Chain A
Amino acid sequence: MKTYYNPEDLKKFGKIGEFQKTMADKFFDYYGEVFKEGALTAREKSLIALAVAHAVQCPYCIDAYTVDTMEKGCDEEQMMEAVHVAAAIRGGASLVHSTQMMNKAKEISM
């Protein structure tokens, strides 16, 4: 069965330079730099990446950062809490806009 997402395609990510090498090289250099141990640990960055992967709903990123967080020593409880952070921000982002709805509703009401 054909699907839009194929887990095997994740392995081809490094080959996107085939169509545009300069930009791909710059992206992967940047990507590597971002995930290095810095002011944040590699483990903290991996948990952020896992949360963002869920926020942007990228199945490739979810697979990749599920493995990566486990290989950085995170357990399932910590990983799920990271996803809840993403969910809280996504939910909050909708709800905070309700203030605009409330403003408008009040504006046109007696």
Chain B
Amino acid sequence: MKSLKAQNHPLANTEKEIELLESLDFTDTFESKLKESGLFPLKPTQIEILQINMGKMCNQVCQHCHVDAGPDRKEIMEREVMQHCLDVIKKNDIKAIDLTGGAPEMNPHFRWFVTEIRKINEDINIIVRCNLTIILANPKYHDLPDFFKSNNIEVVSSLPYFNAAKTDAQRGDGVFGKSIKALKMLNEVGYGVEGSPLKLNLVFNPSGAFLPASQADLELQFKRKLSAQYEVQFNSLFTITNIPISRFLEYLLRSGNYENYMEKLINSYNIAAAANVMCRTTISVGWDGYLYDCDFNQMLELKVDTPKTQHIKDWDTAALKERNIIVNQHCFGCTAGAGSSCGGATA
């Protein structure tokens, strides 16, 4: 499967995506809902997390990917941009660095970057969003579990279900089997194992046009099944709602689910989740250094609303803390039901 960009698909054009998101005639807009909740304009609380997208290249082509990542994507963060990120990390009280992609490990400067972050701050939480199969994709990645361990990295990995049928339908043929092997490799070095400080968290997102189940219930089911059938251990399960952009939006349109899914998201708006949306504590950095309120706004090319400090090289903490967060209809994905963020449910 090719990325939407490689297919020259209309939805590879972000203006077209936004036009589609705004085209449905619902009474409620995300802005009107925030106004009702006393949350508009949406403001940051503090900047705690720097989420860095290290590039769109990936060894997988997942059906729901909001990045439209894949082997045919060549956008990769360069070392110069990483150096600007390091300067920001040095000068600011940031609690967590969340490395994502694509497969962040495919960036040739990935290991250098992680090591440099760790040199700056021994305690900062470094998270890697590892798709698991990358560990087995090439011998040069086989030692990633040891590398993660030696840099005390938290590993967060997607596993949409505890069986092959659902996982492979969403993430590609054979992904479930490889993911289980990679999870075992991580367990072997101490990740996710009871009593170990090395954190291995899994991410569940629905394989279709519906909302995720209760995070606590699913975590229990995953723990029971993965332990009994595969002897795999992990720490926590994060449930994430599929956001209606990019490839998931393409799926919704192709399957005739778009309108009903949007209606469900809007009808499931939860004020508690709205108050806790991750963009209030996060800045997302694109592969080219531009800044966004979240990874989804990044993929829609909606840069932060601070015209003079839209690039990591021009970082201005005060301006970013005062900014208005840009919202649109896709934001209903983060406020539906129990809420959704890169760290799971929010309400």
Binding site for B on A (CB under 8 A): 41-43, 67, 70-73, 75
List 25 A–B pairs whose Cβ atoms lie within 8 Å, in order of A's numbering: A41-B217, A42-B214, A43-B213, A43-B217, A67-B210, A70-B206, A70-B208, A70-B210, A70-B213, A71-B206, A71-B210, A71-B211, A71-B212, A71-B213, A72-B213, A72-B214, A72-B217, A73-B213, A73-B214, A73-B217, A73-B218, A73-B221, A75-B161, A75-B163, A75-B166
State A72–B212 Cα separation when bound (angstroms). 7
- Besides the known contacts A67-B210, A75-B161, A75-B166, 15 further A-B residue pairs in the complex with CB atoms under 8 A apart: A42-B214, A43-B213, A43-B217, A70-B206, A70-B210, A71-B206, A71-B210, A71-B211, A72-B214, A73-B213, A73-B214, A73-B217, A73-B218, A73-B221, A75-B163
State A43–B216 Cα separation when bound (angstroms). 12
Binding site for A on B (CB under 8 A): 161, 163, 166, 206, 208, 210-214, 217-218, 221
State A87–B166 Cα separation when bound (angstroms). 26
State A41–B220 Cα separation when bound (angstroms). 14
Report A21 CB to chain B, min CB distance, Å.
Answer: 21
Report B161 CB to chain A, min CB distance, Å.
Answer: 7
State A42–B161 Cα separation when bound (angstroms). 20
Closest 8 CB pairs of A and B: A73-B213, A71-B211, A73-B218, A70-B210, A71-B210, A72-B213, A67-B210, A73-B217
Could you say which of A71, A73, A75 has the most chain B C-beta atoms within 10 Å of its C-beta?
Answer: A73
State A43–B208 Cα separation when bound (angstroms). 19
Closest residue of chain B to A74, judged by CB? B213
State A71–B208 Cα separation when bound (angstroms). 10
Report A97 CB to chain B, min CB distance, Å.
Answer: 39
Q: Kindly list chain B residues whose C-beta atoms are within 8 Å of the C-beta of A70.
A: 206, 208, 210, 213
Closest residue of chain B to A68, judged by CB? B210
Q: Kindly list chain A residues whose C-beta atoms are within 8 Å of the C-beta of B206.
A: 70-71
Closest residue of chain A to B166, judged by CB? A75
Closest residue of chain A to B211, judged by CB? A71
Q: Kindly list chain B residues whose C-beta atoms are within 8 Å of the C-beta of A72.
A: 213-214, 217
Report A2 CB to chain B, min CB distance, Å.
Answer: 21
State A73–B166 Cα separation when bound (angstroms). 12
State A72–B221 Cα separation when bound (angstroms). 11
Report A14 CB to chain B, min CB distance, Å.
Answer: 11
Closest residue of chain A to B162, judged by CB? A75
Report B132 CB to chain A, min CB distance, Å.
Answer: 21
